[in-house]
Amino acid sequence: MDVSFSYLNACLAVLLAWGAIGLAGMIRPRSLGIAARTLFPLGALCGIALAVLAVLSIATPAERAVLPLGLPDLPFHVRRDPLASVFLALLGAASAGISIFSTGYFRKGEGALPGLLCLEYHVFLASMGLVLLADDAYAFMVAWETMALSSYFLVTTQHRIPEIRSAGFLYLLIAHVGAISILLSFGVMQGGSWQFTFDAMRAAHLSPGWATVAFGLAMFGFGAKAGLVPLHVWLPEAHPAAPSPVSALMSGVMLKTAVYGVLRVSFDLLGTPQWWWGLVALGLGLLSAFYGVIFAAVQTDMKRLLAWSSIENVGVIFTGVGLTIVFHGSGMGALAALALIATLYHCLNHAFMKSVLFLGTGSVLHATGERNLGRLGGLIHRMPWVAWLTLIGVLAIAGLPPLNGFVSEWLLLQAFLFAGDVPRTFVNMLLPVGAAVVALCTALAGYVMVKFFGVIFLGQPREAALAGAHDAGLVERLGLLWLALGCVGLGLFPVQVIETLDVVARDLLKLPAGRWGGDWWLLAPAAARHAAYGPLALFGVTLIVVALAGLGVRAVYRRRVRRGPAWDCGFVRLDARMQDTAEGFGQPIRHVFEPFFQMVRELPTPFDFAPRYRVTVGDRLWTLLYLPLGATVRWTADRVARLQQGRIATYLLYSFVTLIALLALVL
């Protein structure tokens, strides 16, 4: 391995630095000062460095290296290409904000030792980086498993609470079922060469049947990590269990490694995907998007709500992946590039906006000790910084212009709209229905986010204890600000981002270099005549109108502004319990989409002196799929357990029989 400068070496150096920072935490594991004041800020600096390196390297050709790590005959191969660079940039930029925030967040040690937390956190970051750089199945799986294990330990930081332990177990279980599937997928892709480098897989020409098997296994494995329905069940359990920066990292960044995996397998390792695989990804994506958003709307725990919202966003991303495969497989290069850019853009957007939201809930959790929406409210007065910065994330994830969520939604809808010429009629008929589902999910995301922000930050405090809530500290604000500025920047300057992503898309889809229409401020996928979006102009005009209206009214208006009790139609004994609750706000969704929910209602009778109303909403898939599956596994395990007698003679007999059988087979 040569040590001259290359972007690949520099990126590897950053990952190494992360590892070193993690180990440094173990020198004095009980010292909070070292971990919080020195190591996490250093980690954030490494993140920024990685983001800068990755952005600079996007347009450069692929680089590769062989690391002196691994088994004697099986060294780690690494490779950086434009696709890896995009995801490395995402990892670096998002983790920088989260690390800055963590500096202030892990004040009390959160259950585990601060130094240990620091180790797990930075190993998690480094392993995600290695997943993106790995160029053989061995390195990939090692990194993938390290990522799963380190994040498992982070999720179970407060391991003394039984719910958190069981949430962690569920996460670990599904992560490993997924990992096995990915491993099998690599096994299929080596195509008889028994070489597990990605180069060998690129060179192997699989028959369409085997390629489909490999794709299916990869979709299952990566889908489990991404949280595609029906493999989503771990997300709403693990995210509330983990400390907020970890939730942000898992939701914002780790889920994207699964997207990276699917893109890498379908477009790079398998070469040319078959077009109908796209329909599978599209269908699963749309299902996840819809399922995620309606469940998000009925949650009463703020972090669980965000976890379901992540399922929705992953669904939108996979919708984009599916669309890309359909277009690519139908020979429509430009549209495939558009859909892929929309997908990558949404990955970036989600990393920023979901991190803002999770960190915002972290600050709320610290200030109030409360995750239940039913006990929050009115925090905009107590925590103005957190509230306004979270509002940016809320507006972004609701897909409102001029922020970033709208840009990727716009691109995705354009890809759907211009799809008219797919050479298969029934696909042509299906795609607009897909667009309708995406539109519905975006509108529902707005509903969810109004509920999220309104119930936590607006209205009256629902508990007296909330009066003592304090705003986030300076470094926490800085972390939030970094991520919120990311949302604004990605929203206002889409052309610059897309020109970069275009390089990646063309490289991955093996298309000739092309040019987008439009201008530096005007985003236009085809000719500007057909569709264009200029967020700067739109935002500028709106801002000018708002300012003019404000100034104009102020100049003309001669009356006073005074404060008084709320009007509420003349009702005088207003108290906080009369506000809509989180359950109440979700009621229309429960009503409209009733068949999807498993509801248990506890209703008071007219004669109750202390009436109680409770409704719990469960996931039907849990009882329909997971409980029977669990029962089957247990039943099988019981049968298998009969083999174990606990007597040495029996085991010797087993060995004897096995030997005889093997001998019979060989002779």
Amino acid at 65: A
Q: Which of residues 484-543 bind another protein (CB under 8 A)?
A: 522, 528-538, 541-543
Say which residue the tokens 């986010």 belong to.
Answer: 449
Residues 6+ apart with CB under 8 A from 621: 229, 230, 233
Exposed / middle / buried, residue 45 (Cβ in 10 Å: 0-12, 13-18, 19+): middle
Q: What are the C-alpha distances in Å from 84 to residues 7, 89, 141?
A: 12, 9, 16
Is 423 an interacting residue with respect to another protein (CB under 8 A)? Answer: no
CA distance 448 to 116: 36
Is 572 an interacting residue with respect to another protein (CB under 8 A)? Answer: no
Residue 517 Cβ, how far from another protein at the closest point, in Å?
A: 12
Of the pair 556, 643, the CB lying nearest another protein is at 556
Q: Which of residues 446-485 bind another protein (CB under 8 A)?
A: 446-447, 449-451, 453-455, 458-460
Give me the phi and psi of 533, to 5 degrees please: -145, 120
Of the pair 37, 381, the CB lying nearest another protein is at 381
Rg of the chain on CA atoms, in Å: 26
Cβ distance 323 to 344 under 8 Å? Answer: no
Stretch that binds another protein, among 9-17, 268-276, 427-435, 490-498 (CB under 8 A): 427-435
Return the residue of 82, 252, 378, 479 that touches another protein, per CB under 8 A.
378
Give me the phi and psi of 617, to 5 degrees please: -110, 120
Of the pair 560, 639, the CB lying nearest another protein is at 560
User: Residue 71 forms beta bridges with which residues?
Assistant: 74
Stretch that binds another protein, among 43-51, 220-228, 398-406, 611-619 (CB under 8 A): 398-406
Question: Residues in contact with another protein, total (CB under 8 A)?
Answer: 84
Q: Which two tokens stand for residue 428?
A: 């042509």
Is 334 an interacting residue with respect to another protein (CB under 8 A)? Answer: no
Of the pair 543, 653, the CB lying nearest another protein is at 543
Stretch that binds another protein, among 66-74, 206-214, 394-402, 505-513 (CB under 8 A): 394-402
Of the pair 196, 452, the CB lying nearest another protein is at 452
Cβ distance 415 to 344 under 8 Å? Answer: no
CA distance 225 to 412: 23
Return the residue of 49, 200, 400, 615 that touches another protein, per CB under 8 A.
400
Q: Which of residues 592-611 bind another protein (CB under 8 A)?
A: 592
Return the residue of 146, 372, 587, 598 that touches another protein, per CB under 8 A.
587
First to last CA, the chain: 48
Q: Which of residues 36-75 bind another protein (CB under 8 A)?
A: none
CA distance 140 to 182: 10
Residue 185 Cβ, how far from another protein at the closest point, in Å?
A: 36
Amino acid at 535: P
Of the pair 125, 415, the CB lying nearest another protein is at 415
Residue 55 Cβ, how far from another protein at the closest point, in Å?
A: 27
CB atoms within 10 A of CB 577: 9
Is 661 an interacting residue with respect to another protein (CB under 8 A)? Answer: no
Give me the phi and psi of 228, to 5 degrees please: -75, 140
Residue 135 Cβ, how far from another protein at the closest point, in Å?
A: 39
Residue 515 Cβ, how far from another protein at the closest point, in Å?
A: 19
Using CA of residue 139, residue 238, residue 349, residue 53, what is the dihedral sign?
A: negative
Of the pair 6, 460, the CB lying nearest another protein is at 460
Q: Which of residues 262-291 bind another protein (CB under 8 A)?
A: none
Stretch that binds another protein, among 14-22, 240-248, 323-331, 429-437 (CB under 8 A): 429-437
Exposed / middle / buried, residue 291 (Cβ in 10 Å: 0-12, 13-18, 19+): buried
* Beta strands at 523-524 and 74-80: parallel, antiparallel or unpaired: unpaired
Q: Which two tokens stand for residue 657?
A: 């029989």
Return the residue of 20, 334, 380, 621 that touches another protein, per CB under 8 A.
380
Return the residue of 562, 612, 639, 642 that touches another protein, per CB under 8 A.
562
Is 658 an interacting residue with respect to another protein (CB under 8 A)? Answer: no
Say which residue the tokens 């990952």 belong to.
Answer: 15
Of the pair 409, 476, the CB lying nearest another protein is at 409
Give me the phi and psi of 28, to 5 degrees please: -130, 80
Cβ distance 328 to 281 under 8 Å? Answer: no
Return the residue of 578, 603, 633, 653 that touches another protein, per CB under 8 A.
578
CA distance 421 to 254: 35
Return the residue of 106, 124, 406, 516 that touches another protein, per CB under 8 A.
406
Residue 211 Cβ, how far from another protein at the closest point, in Å?
A: 31
Q: Which two tokens stand for residue 466?
A: 């909330």
**In b/e form, how buried is each residue of 360-383, taking b as 16+ CB within 10 angstroms?**
bbbbbbbbbebbebbbbbbbbebb
Of the pair 514, 550, the CB lying nearest another protein is at 550
Quick note: the x/- pattern for another protein over 614-633, rule CB under 8 A, is --------------------
Return the residue of 435, 487, 490, 501 that touches another protein, per CB under 8 A.
435
Of the pair 18, 406, the CB lying nearest another protein is at 406
Stretch that binds another protein, among 102-110, 505-513, 584-592, 630-638 (CB under 8 A): 584-592
CA distance 214 to 265: 9
Is 556 an interacting residue with respect to another protein (CB under 8 A)? Answer: yes
Return the residue of 160, 591, 639, 647 that touches another protein, per CB under 8 A.
591
Return the residue of 25, 43, 168, 377 that touches another protein, per CB under 8 A.
377
Residues 6+ apart with CB under 8 A from 189: 201, 204, 206, 214, 265, 269, 270
Q: DSSP letter for 301, please.
A: B
Of the pair 508, 531, the CB lying nearest another protein is at 531
Cβ distance 375 to 462 under 8 Å? Answer: yes
Is 335 an interacting residue with respect to another protein (CB under 8 A)? Answer: no
CA-wise closest residue to 403 among 389, 413, 414: 389
CA distance 321 to 508: 13
Stretch that binds another protein, among 145-153, 238-246, 322-330, 435-443 (CB under 8 A): 435-443
Stretch that binds another protein, among 46-54, 239-247, 474-482, 585-593 (CB under 8 A): 585-593
Stretch that binds another protein, among 335-343, 431-439, 499-507, 635-643 (CB under 8 A): 431-439
Stretch that binds another protein, among 191-199, 267-275, 358-366, 568-576 (CB under 8 A): 568-576
Residue 477 Cβ, how far from another protein at the closest point, in Å?
A: 18
Element (H, E) at 567: none
What is the 3-class SS of 429-493, one letter each residue?
Answer: HHHHHHHHHHHHHHHHHHHHHHHHHHHHHCCCCCCHHHHHCCCCCHHHHHHHHHHHHHHHHHHHC
Is 373 an interacting residue with respect to another protein (CB under 8 A)? Answer: no
Residue 403 Cβ, how far from another protein at the closest point, in Å?
A: 9
